Amino acid sequence: METQLSPIIDDARLNKLGERLFAVWPPYRDDRRAIEERWLKNLRQVRGVYDPEVLRMIPADKSKAYPKMTAWMVRGTIARLMQLLFPMTEKNYGIKESPLPDLPTAQLQEVLDGLVALGGEMNDTVIEKAILAHAKGKAERMEVKVSDDLQEMEFITLARKVVRSAVIYNVGILEGPLHRAVKSRTWQQDVNTGKWTATEVDKYKPLFEFTPVWSYYPDMTAQGIDKQDGWFIRRIMTRAEVEALGRRPDFLADRINDYLRKNTSGNYQALWWESEIKGEAKSAQASAQGKESRKFEILAYYGGVTGADLRAAGVTVPDADLGKTINGVVWMIDNVVIKAKLAPLGQNINSHHVFVFEDDDLSILGNGQCDVVRDTQLSLCETVRAMLDNASVIGPMCEINTEMLTPGQDMAISKNKTWFRESMGGQSDAIPAVRNVSIESHLPDLLQLANLFLGFGDKESGLPPAALGDTTGGGSEALRTSKNASMFLGAAALPIRDTVRNFDTFTISMISALCAWNTRYDPNPTRDGDYDVIARGSTSLIAKEVLAQALENFRAGITPDEAPHVKIRGLLAARAKVNDIPVDEILEDEDKANATIERNAQMQGAQVQGQMDLIAAQVKEVLTRALEHEAKASALGTEAGVTVLQTIIDAITKGNKSAADQAKNLVAAHAADTSRIVAEKPVPTGGGK
């Protein structure tokens, strides 16, 4: 197979590629128009601003109040999702070895050599078990590396932006991993002098970036996010930022500089939705017209391009792949290609990770909170406006017949006012010149209607008040105990289980990309291997008290024969997790814990030995007294000492204090009997021999 080892830039072919992709851009841009209209409605709904068509229908002298029910739901939903997706006591993902790991030849040989060195029987079962253990260790080390990467980039902050975007606009997007250059410290030893020297080296670390939905132009004709031919990312840059692209090694500097020479002003023109946002924004942006010509619109296409097009940009492509469609990245200014590369992490790893709040059969970008509750929000707005309009006309109102009043009077209504009127004669004098006009109040009915719409909003959003932090709707009994409160709040979270599952898909995509980045750009034989990424977000919705109760029942049911097979420390850690207690903060170091257990065992042994010594001393004392009394009893011809001696023997055999006390009591009783016998025995007289 012939392979081009030193490809060169083919300007003519790159120009054709730019023209072809630039011709595809308008359909992508226009197909998103309906979605952009929904996004604008969502944005206004969260901000509490009426759509122009609704505002035109409200009379100028009527109330324009907008109760921000949607904004409250959005904030509560974001907070609730972040609590569920990022629990305190565990990660929402895991990296696990594949069931049948596929190790590289070198690693497989390393496993086989290790088994041979250990000796013993070699068979398929033993080898597969060793391979699985080898892969498990690599997966655990990769998980530690990924956790460290996410912590350094403050991933939770990025994740909140993605969640907020998905709640408001139905979709949230994260791009990466990208490269971030950092200085790393290291040391080395001079081979000649043996001196150790501290040095700094350039090192790259992974970085994710949040992508606003307004910049993301998907293939709206696709059947799903993962079935697109490609997508565009639209970026607006300053001239200095475009010049900086020309200094990067992955861009075509000559084509960038040539474009900038020919175009002294920018090519950016505001799209319709940008004009709408700027027109409505209450900021300095609204007056920033005229600066737009200084900006540049950069289009980045991510998707299928031919191998020949990539070779034209200087990418090494085998001859056999020239006619194939390969996932690549193409950047353009207008129709001028300034970058064309292979997908950075391989053909099966996405560079953009999409979180869809709620799946929708009518759009690959899904459905969301704002769309679902829009009608209820507008109905609530209309009800509240009616309440305020009704309240504004409730008050002192009068009907005045000026012809009946004495001329020159003040017509203003005031307290304790006296009205002077002239007699008109006849029946007209019975008609008051000033009459009260009563406007009926409908506030109680309107308030009931407003509460009805608020209830509709709770049900439509799938988040009852308890899920948004309002526990008053559950009754006092549900919150009487911490267990009941946990069950109550856990049940309130169940309606958004599907949303959490969608985030699990996002998590798998993102963590898989991060693992691929580490394998390719920060390789380490101790952690690079065959493993799968798993997401645990949906499992956090299980009522924790159910698992806690199961753990307690399991612990109580362990028999003495089963106890050696149970990892007590692991069981303790699991019980802490289900109660949201940080395990690392409360569990003692394992070595210190084992030392404490050994010390306690020694102290308990010393206490037992002291008790045994005390019993032995008591038995010795009882034995001494018993022998004395036995001697007296034998001299008197009694056999009571046999029972005492047998009790003493039992006490010594059993080795317990109760038996010793029993023996002591018997000796005392025997001594009393012996004294009584001695006292009652007749004394011999001296009258005979």
DSSP character for 3?
B
Q: State the pLDDT at residue 490.
A: 53
Q: For the residues 658-663, what does the mean pLDDT come to?
A: 59
Q: Answer yes or no: is pLDDT of 118 > 60.
A: yes
On the question of pLDDT at 545 being above 60, the answer is no
Per-residue pLDDT tens digits for 489-519 = 555 555 677 788 889 999 999 999 999 999 9
Residue 457 has pLDDT above 60, yes or no: yes
- Check whether 552 has a pLDDT greater than 70: yes
* pLDDT value, residue 476: 46
pLDDT in tens, 4-35: 444 578 888 899 999 999 999 999 999 999 99
651 pLDDT tier (thresholds 50, 70, 90): low
204, pLDDT greater than 80: yes
Tell which residue, 421, 379, 416, has the closest CA to residue 400.
421
Taking all residues of the chain, what is their mean pLDDT, rounded to a whole number? Answer: 80
Averaged pLDDT, 155-182: 92
The yes-or-no verdict on residue 546 having pLDDT over 50 is yes
Dist. CA 17–CA 400, nearest whole Å = 82
Non-local CB neighbours of 145 within 8 Å, separated by 6+ positions:
518, 522, 524, 527
Out of 220-234, 401-415, 418-432, 575-589, pick the least confident: 575-589
Whole-model pTM?
0.73
Instruction: Look at residue 85 in the predicted model and tell me its pLDDT.
Output: 85
Highest-scoring range by mean pLDDT, 135-139, 247-251, 559-563: 247-251
Q: Parallel, antiparallel, or unpaired: how do β-strands 230-237 and 216-217 relate?
A: antiparallel
* Amino acid type, 426: G
- Return the SS3 of 184: strand
DSSP bridge partners of 329: 302, 341
User: What is the share, in percent, of the chain residues with pLDDT greater than 70?
Assistant: 78
**Token pair for 318:** 């085998």
Q: Predicted confidence band at 665 (pLDDT cuts at 50, 70, 90)?
A: low
Q: Mean pLDDT over residues 27-56, rounded?
A: 94
Mean pLDDT of 35-43: 94
97 forms beta bridges with 531
Could you give the maximum distance between any two Cα atoms of the chain, in Å?
A: 166
> Can you give the pLDDT at residue 677?
53
